[in-house]
């Protein structure tokens, strides 16, 4: 593989070529490496925790906030630096925390040389950005929010590079998308910022989703989501039939993130962010995540023809178009944005080639681009900050006002243009050297060197424009503010980065060399080529290409200078093709036009067709597996039918059908018949040896009936009209017929399935487990209750929580309940009774109502203690005999509702303290506390008493902890039922009040 001309030069040339002998690095023992791996979570935890803390800083404390954020970034950087010896010798640090190991999901962090290099970039530039932002942000900006988001972004980005698990990688990847959305939209009062943030999130988020699918498939191919395992199975992935699918999905993620053509347009719009954000996101982090992924998976994905074509084409197009567009930008940051796109394209092209040397160049250029681009963004920010504009048509001659900044910016631009003795030159030379190599004999490969030279020429042009247009020329006129040098420490980060560009550019082998080598070895392993980082490689083709690009670029600039000085933003012709507009149009078409027409065509707001669809779907879902699975009708067994049971169900079926028939016009009759069907169900439970169910069913039946009775009053009157079949429209008759057929099909299907299953022998089920252990381990003989409060206690806890939520919802809904006017009248019976009182002078008004059902109401009152006793009985015997918390709770609530029925709402509430909300909260707390109590003894949540009773201190405790849990269930069921019932019952008290208020208001209005 080593055949690049420059590799030849390297071998003949220099001992200064970077070959870091492995023996130079302190050889750490395994124990120390493991210990060092424990430090990896610091990279995630420290910035995230810092982010949470910073958000609570007062917004006027700019200094303190910046110091704190800077300290955290610095700590991360120092930890990174301290970890270098461990990765330098090819070591890999690991940290693993089991998350869902059954699914192969672990919180695995992994640091090798490449991840180290990226961590160093992220944290080092992070520190510089904090320092810069301290001075950049204005006094009125909410600085804590900025630094909180900044730290969160740093953590997410570190998470991306350190993830040792594909799923974790995807999670952090999406986190960077989300946090960058918030950062770009930091000035959310600005519409451009909002748009830019939205476009960035949509593009990178969609790409991220595709990438996640790709990673999932990749994990399936490898059989593990662990990055080490993935990196070790390159052949398996490349030869898999799904390789192309995985490749395209992953590339959608990487190319959108790295703003590669045709997804590049989000990046210029993201320039609406504060400059420190741009400097961070578009130099060392966000956009580098895409090329990071490409490089990370390079060993397993690269080298195929598909990879070469897709990645290469995207990269080359981006390289050329980005550079071309950059020339025509009038906004300083816009120029830098397109230049970023172009440089990312360069890295992508390098990665597409599939040769190890190109990969080395790619990693090198990632670092170089991060340094010069971060410094350029910061310089642009300084210019913007000190002059009040970023428009290059208005800026000129600034060298006179800010000579130091100008010098710094010039050096950084020169690095961007690839001028010798600067770092950009080195990686560009490597790129040229690779571009002229033949990797695969096709048109794209032949084109590469030409495109590279032209793009490089454009790079020289726009770099020169940045320098010449802004810092030279006539004195600037009518700038918003008078320009001057920025504060000392605002410039410091730029100075540092420019110094780095120079040092790396002049003595690369001694500075970046070892670190680069560590990173490269961790990607390429045995395939690491010989390469040289020397500045001088002799007269060779890359140098000639550089020379052509430099002179051509300078010439081009001076040709276009006068045009650019006055032209409008954007390149000619291409500016008509606005990415954003296309994007918006696609979005509108997809999410509004198509969605709406789809809804119009397929959707309906009417419930009946929807219900019909649901029933049809259920029918199909039930019938299909039977038909496909070769379902055979079971033999019909007529014998052994108990006539009494048969009679019972004749009644039951009659009740059900009658209830359905009467539900429209005779609601009360329908309700009574429904109760009949319920009773038949209840008796069936008794018959078939399920006393627990029978008790609960009976009690619930009572409560449900009372509840619906309470509700009946608020429904509109419906008077039956004689239904002449002539009068009914054909459509309605057809619909009823259709519904009838559907109902028969559903009922027949259920009957068939039920009969088939019930006539087959019972297979071995988990029931045996419960039966065997209910007494020995659960300590109760009533297996059903033991399952509820012990074995499956957690389910029960969930269910009572649902009950609690429903009761609260009912309560809340009824608070806002406004009955219709026709429901407000006094019921007919009360009217008759009141009229009777009025007719008889010896009776006061309301006497008849009070005396109505006098004897039953006295009996009901007396029943209260007995009901309470029954509930207590049901509750206490629950663990061993039929009963339990559910039944007891409902029985007790019936006791309460009987009081309401006999005495009326007001009478009861004057005499009894009823606090259903307290009972419910008590119940939930007791149930949860009982569960949590087992933690105290070192057992999992809701471990029951079998362990509890053997405690040495407490001794033999007669009450099982499951009983306490059941007490919680009891209290909650009681509270929830009573709350629902009395909330509904209260409406009849509230309604007359509302009625009276309305009448009073009317009277006053008349007066």
Partner 1 sequence: MELILSAGIGALTASGVYLLLRPRTYQVIIGLSLLSYAVNLFIFGMGRLRVNAPPVLDPAGAGDLASYTDPVPQALVLTAIVIGFAMTALFLVVLLASRGFTGTDHVDGREQRHD
Cα–Cα dist 937/121, whole Å: 48
State the nearest-atom distance from the C-beta of 635 to partner 1, in Å.
11
Task: Please report whether residue 78 would count as binding partner 1 according to CB under 8 A.
Answer: no
Q: State the DSSP string of 381-395.
A: HHHHHHHS--BTTT-
Is residue 832 within 8 A of residue 841, CB to CB? The reply is no
User: Can you say how many angstroms the Cα of residue 561 is from the centroid of all Cα atoms in its chain?
Assistant: 49
Look at residue 126 and give its three-state secondary structure.
helix
In the complex with partner 1, which residue's Cβ is closer, 574 or 740? 740
Q: Which of 137, 166, 287 is nearest to 226 (CA)?
A: 166
**DSSP codes, 288-323:** HHHHHHHHHTHHHHTTSHHHHHHHHHHHHHHHHHHH
Gap between the Cα atoms of 625 and 630, Å rounded: 8
User: What are 759's two structure tokens?
Assistant: 């006539």
Minimum CB separation of residue 165 from partner 1 in Å reads: 37
Task: Answer for the pair 674, 865: CB distance below 8 angstroms, yes or no.
Answer: no
Integer Cα distance of 456 and 278 in angstroms:
23
State in Å, rounded, how far the first CA of the chain is from the last one. Answer: 103
Give the residue with the Cβ less far from partner 1, 39 or 651. 651
Of 30 and 776, CB closest to partner 1: 776
Q: Which residue, 397 or 691, is less far from partner 1 as judged by CB? A: 691
**Is 622 an interacting residue with respect to partner 1 (CB under 8 A)?**
no
User: Is residue 644 close enough to count as binding partner 1 by CB under 8 A?
Assistant: no
Q: Nearer Cβ to partner 1, position 584 or 880? A: 880
Identify residues 576-615 at the interface with partner 1 (CB under 8 A): 605-608, 611-612, 615
**Under rule CB under 8 A, residue 907 binds partner 1:** no
Assess 759 for contact with partner 1 (CB under 8 A): yes
Question: Does 813 sit near partner 1 (CB under 8 A)?
Answer: yes
Q: CB pairs under 8 A, 24+ apart, for 615-624?
A: 615/742, 615/746, 616/742, 618/746, 619/742, 619/745, 619/746, 619/749, 622/749, 622/753, 623/749
For partner 1, the binding residues in 820-849 under the rule CB under 8 A are: 820
CA dihedral sign of residues 486, 487, 488, 494? negative
Element (H, E) at 71: helix 62-88
Answer yes or no whether residue 559 interacts with partner 1 by CB under 8 A.
no
Residue 342 corresponds to which tokens in the numbers above? 């172009």
Nearer to partner 1, 767 or 959 (CB): 767
Nearer to partner 1, 537 or 986 (CB): 986
Closest to partner 1 by CB, 359 vs 695, is 695
Position 931 contacts partner 1 (CB under 8 A) = no
Q: How many CB atoms lie within 10 A of CB 28?
A: 16
- Tell whether residue 851 is a contact of partner 1 (CB under 8 A): no
Site for partner 1 in 519-538 (CB under 8 A): none
Within residues 417-446, the interface with partner 1 by CB under 8 A covers none
Answer whether 849's CB lies under 8 Å from 907's CB: no
Looking at the Cβ atoms of 760 and 1007, the one nearer to partner 1 is 760
Q: What is d(CA 476, CA 478) in angstroms, rounded to the nearest whole number?
A: 7
Q: How far is CA 844 from the centre of its chain?
A: 67
Nearer to partner 1, 477 or 816 (CB): 816
Q: Is 871 near partner 1 (CB under 8 A)?
A: no
The two three-digit tokens of residue 194, written as one number: 């909002």
Among 636, 855, 953, 1006, binds partner 1 (CB under 8 A): 636
Return all residues near 489 (Cβ < 8 A) that are at least 6 apart: 131, 134, 135
Residue 259 as a binder of partner 1 (CB under 8 A): the answer is no
Least distance CB 808 / partner 1 (angstroms): 10
Q: Which two tokens stand for residue 550?
A: 């430099």
Please report whether residue 6 would count as binding partner 1 according to CB under 8 A.
Answer: no
907 CB-contact burial (10 Å; exposed 0-12 / middle 13-18 / buried 19+) = middle
Q: Is 774 in the site for partner 1 (CB under 8 A)?
A: yes
Quick check: 574 binds partner 1 (CB under 8 A)?
no
Tokens 């407000």 sit on residue: 824
Provide the β-strand partners of residue 904: none
Residue of the chain from 71, 742, 872, 876 that contacts partner 1 (CB under 8 A)? 742
Task: Give CA–CA dist 115/882, Å, rounded.
Answer: 63
Kindly state whether residue 755 participates in binding partner 1, applying the rule CB under 8 A. Answer: yes
Neighbours of 681 (CB within 10 A): 18
Which residues, including other chains, have CB under 8 Å from residue 428's CB and lie 6 or more apart? 346, 365, 418, 456, 546
Find the part of the chain contacting partner 1 (CB under 8 A) among 164-172, 742-750, 831-839, 898-906.
742-750
Q: Cβ of residue 102: shortest distance to partner 1, in angstroms?
A: 24
User: CB of residue 964 vs partner 1: minimum separation in angstroms?
Assistant: 19
- Interatomic CA distance for residues 502 and 523, integer angstroms: 27
* Residue 750 beta carbon to partner 1: minimum distance, rounded to whole angstroms: 4
Binding residue for partner 1, selected from 138, 441, 443, 758, defined by CB under 8 A: 758
Tokens of 508: 């690369």
Site string for partner 1, 482-521 (x = CB under 8 A): ----------------------------------------
Between residues 475 and 732, which has the closer beta carbon with respect to partner 1?
732
Stretch that binds partner 1, among 66-74, 101-109, 496-504, 751-759 (CB under 8 A): 751-759
User: Which residues, 649 to 688, sit near partner 1 by CB under 8 A?
Assistant: 649, 652-653, 656-657, 659-660, 663-664, 667, 670-671, 674, 677-678, 680-681, 684-685, 687-688
User: What does the block give as tokens for 744?
Assistant: 């028969």
Phi, psi angle pair for 644, to nearest 5°: -65, -40
Please state whether 447 falls in left (phi above 0), alpha (psi between -120 and 50) or beta: alpha
Residue among 568 and 633 whose Cβ is closer to partner 1: 633
Q: Of the candidates 861, 834, 832, which has an alpha carbon nearest to the alpha carbon of residue 846?
A: 834
Q: Residue 773 or residue 843: which is nearer to partner 1 going by CB? A: 773
Q: Is 909 in the site for partner 1 (CB under 8 A)?
A: no
**Residue 809 sits in the site that holds partner 1 (CB under 8 A):** yes
Query: Residue 817, interface with partner 1 (CB under 8 A)?
Result: yes
Least distance to partner 1 from the beta carbon of 786, Å?
A: 8
Nearer to partner 1, 70 or 882 (CB): 882
- Give the H/E segment covering residue 499: helix 488-506
Residue whose CB is less far from partner 1, 723 or 828: 723
Contacting range for partner 1; rule: CB under 8 A; set: 58-66, 227-235, 540-548, 878-886: 878-886
932 binds partner 1 (CB under 8 A): no
Instruction: Give residues 151-190 in contact with partner 1 (rule: CB under 8 A).
Output: none
Minimum distance, C-beta of residue 684 to partner 1, in the bound complex (Å): 7
Of 715, 859, 951, 989, the residue at the interface with partner 1 (CB under 8 A) is: 715
Residue 446 or residue 759: which is nearer to partner 1 going by CB? 759
Among residue numbers 211 through 230, which ones bind partner 1 (CB under 8 A)? none
Sites for partner 1 among residues 685-704 (CB under 8 A): 685, 687-693, 696-697, 700, 703-704
What is the β-pairing status of strands 93-100 and 105-111? antiparallel
Contact between 976 and partner 1 (CB under 8 A)?
Answer: yes
Binder among 404, 595, 646, 932 for partner 1 (CB under 8 A):
646
Given a contact cutoff of 8 angstroms between Cβ atoms, the answer to whether 292 and 257 are in contact is no
Does the protein bind partner 1 through residue 547 (CB under 8 A)? Answer: no
Residue 994 sits in the site that holds partner 1 (CB under 8 A): no
Contact 364, 377 (CB under 8 A): no
Which of 84, 99, 714, 941 binds partner 1 (CB under 8 A)? It is 714
CA–CA distance, 425 with 431 (Å, rounded to integer): 10
Q: Are the beta carbons of 10 and 531 closer than 8 angstroms?
A: yes
């Amino acid at each position: 593989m080593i055949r690049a001309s420059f590799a030849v030069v390297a071998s003949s040339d220099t001992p200064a070529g970077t070959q870091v002998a492995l023996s130079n690095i302190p050889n750490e023992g395994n124990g120390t490496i493991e210990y060092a791996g424990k430090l990896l979570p610091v990279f995630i935890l420290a910035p995230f925790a810092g982010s949470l803390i910073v958000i609570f800083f007062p917004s006027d404390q700019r200094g303190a906030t910046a110091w704190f954020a800077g300290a955290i970034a610095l700590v991360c950087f120092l930890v990174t630096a301290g970890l270098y010896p461990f990765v330098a010798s090819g070591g890999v640090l690991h940290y693993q925390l089991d998350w869902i190991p059954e699914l192969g999901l672990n919180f695995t962090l992994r640091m090798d040389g490449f991840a180290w290099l990226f961590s160093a970039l992220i944290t080092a530039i992070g520190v510089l950005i904090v320092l810069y932002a301290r001075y950049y942000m204005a006094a009125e900006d909410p600085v804590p929010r900025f630094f909180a988001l900044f730290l969160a972004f740093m953590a997410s980005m570190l998470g991306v590079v350190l993830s040792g698990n594909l799923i974790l990688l995807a999670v952090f990847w999406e986190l960077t998308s989300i946090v960058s959305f918030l950062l770009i939209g930091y000035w959310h009062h600005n519409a451009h910022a909002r748009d830019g943030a939205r476009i960035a999130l949509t593009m990178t988020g969609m790409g991220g989703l595709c990438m996640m699918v790709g990673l999932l498939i990749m994990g399936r191919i490898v059989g593990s989501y662990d990055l080490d395992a993935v990196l070790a199975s390159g052949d398996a992935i490349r030869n898999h039939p799904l390789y192309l699918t995985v490749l395209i999905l992953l590339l959608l993620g990487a190319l959108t993130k790295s703003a590669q053509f045709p997804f590049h347009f989000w990046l210029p719009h993201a320039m609406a962010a504060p400059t420190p954000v741009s400097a961070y996101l578009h130099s060392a982090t966000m956009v580098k995540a895409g090329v990071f992924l490409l490089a990370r998976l390079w060993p397993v994905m690269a080298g195929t023809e598909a990879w070469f074509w897709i990645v290469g084409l995207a990269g080359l197009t981006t390289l050329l178009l980005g550079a071309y567009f950059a020339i025509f930008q009038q906004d300083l940051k816009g120029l830098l944005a397109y230049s970023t796109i172009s440089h990312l394209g360069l890295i992508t092209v390098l990665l597409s080639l599939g040769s190890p040397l190109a990969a080395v160049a790619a990693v090198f250029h990632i670092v170089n681009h991060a340094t010069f681009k971060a410094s350029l963004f910061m310089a642009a920010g300084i210019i913007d900050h000190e002059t009040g504009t970023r428009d290059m048509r208005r800026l000129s001659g600034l060298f006179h006002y800010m000579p130091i900044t100008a010098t710094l910016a010039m050096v950084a631009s020169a690095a961007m243009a690839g001028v010798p003795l600067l770092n950009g030159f080195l990686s560009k030379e490597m790129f040229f050297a690779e571009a002229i190599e033949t990797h695969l004999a096709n048109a794209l490969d032949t084109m590469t060197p030409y495109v590279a030279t032209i793009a490089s020429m454009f790079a020289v042009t726009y770099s020169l424009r940045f320098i010449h247009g802004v810092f030279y020329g006539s004195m600037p006129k009518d700038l918003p503010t008078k320009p001057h040098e920025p504060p000392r420490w605002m410039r410091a980060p730029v100075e540092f980065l420019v110094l780095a560009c120079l040092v790396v550019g002049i003595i690369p082998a001694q500075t970046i060399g070892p670190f680069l080598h560590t990173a490269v070895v961790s990607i390429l392993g045995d395939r690491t080529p010989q390469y040289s980082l020397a500045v001088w490689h002799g007269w060779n083709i890359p140098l000639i290409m550089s020379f052509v690009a430099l002179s051509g670029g300078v010439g081009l600039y001076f040709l276009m200078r006068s045009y650019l000085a006055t032209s409008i933003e954007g390149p000619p012709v291409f500016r008509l093709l606005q990415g954003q507009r296309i994007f918006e149009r696609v979005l509108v078409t997809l999410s509004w036009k198509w969605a709406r027409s789809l809804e119009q065509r397929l959707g309906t707001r009417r419930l009946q067709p929807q219900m019909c669809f649901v029933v049809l779907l259920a029918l199909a879902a039930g019938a299909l597996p039977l038909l496909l699975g070769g379902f055979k009708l079971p033999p019909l067994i007529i014998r052994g039918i108990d006539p009494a049971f048969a009679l019972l169900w004749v009644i039951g079926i009659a009740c059900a059908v009658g209830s359905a028939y009467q539900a429209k016009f005779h609601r009360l009759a329908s309700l009574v018949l429904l109760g009949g069907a319920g009773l038949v169900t209840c008796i069936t439970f008794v018959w078939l040896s399920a006393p627990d169910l029978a008790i609960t069913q009976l009690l619930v039946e009572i409560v449900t009936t009372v509840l619906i009775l309470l509700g009946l009053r608020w429904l509109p009157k419906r008077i039956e009209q004689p239904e002449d079949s002539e009068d009914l429209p054909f459509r309605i008759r057809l619909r009823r017929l259709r519904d009838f057929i559907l109902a028969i099909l559903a009922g027949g299907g259920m009957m068939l399935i039920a009969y088939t299953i019930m006539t087959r022998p019972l297979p071995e089920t988990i029931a045996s487990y419960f039966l065997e252990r209910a007494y020995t381990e659960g300590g109760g003989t009533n297996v059903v209750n033991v399952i509820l409060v012990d074995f499956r206690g957690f389910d029960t806890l969930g269910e009572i929580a649902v009950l609690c939520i429903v009761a609260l919802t009912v309560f809340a809904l009824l608070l806002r309940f406004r009955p219709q006017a026709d429901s407000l009248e006094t019921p007919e019976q009360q009217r008759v009774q009141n009229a009777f009182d009025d007719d008889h002078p010896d009776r006061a008004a309301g006497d008849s109502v009070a005396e109505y059902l006098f004897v039953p109401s006295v009996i009901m009152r007396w029943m209260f203690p007995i009901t309470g006793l029954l509930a207590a009985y049901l509750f206490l015997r629950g663990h061993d005999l039929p009963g339990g918390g559910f039944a007891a709770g409902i029985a007790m609530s019936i006791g309460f509702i009987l009081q309401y029925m006999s005495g009326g709402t007001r009478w009861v509430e004057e005499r009894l303290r009823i606090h259903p909300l307290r009972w419910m909260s008590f119940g939930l707390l007791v149930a949860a506390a009982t569960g949590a109590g087992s933690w105290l003894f070192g057992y999992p949540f809701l471990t029951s008493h079998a362990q509890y009773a053997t405690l040495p201190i407490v001794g033999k405790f007669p009450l099982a902890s499951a009983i306490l849990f059941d007490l919680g269930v009891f209290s909650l069921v009681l509270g929830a039922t009573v709350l629902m019932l009395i909330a509904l019952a209260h409406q009849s008290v509230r309604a007359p009040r509302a009625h009276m208020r309305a009448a009073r208001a009317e009277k006053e209005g008349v007066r």
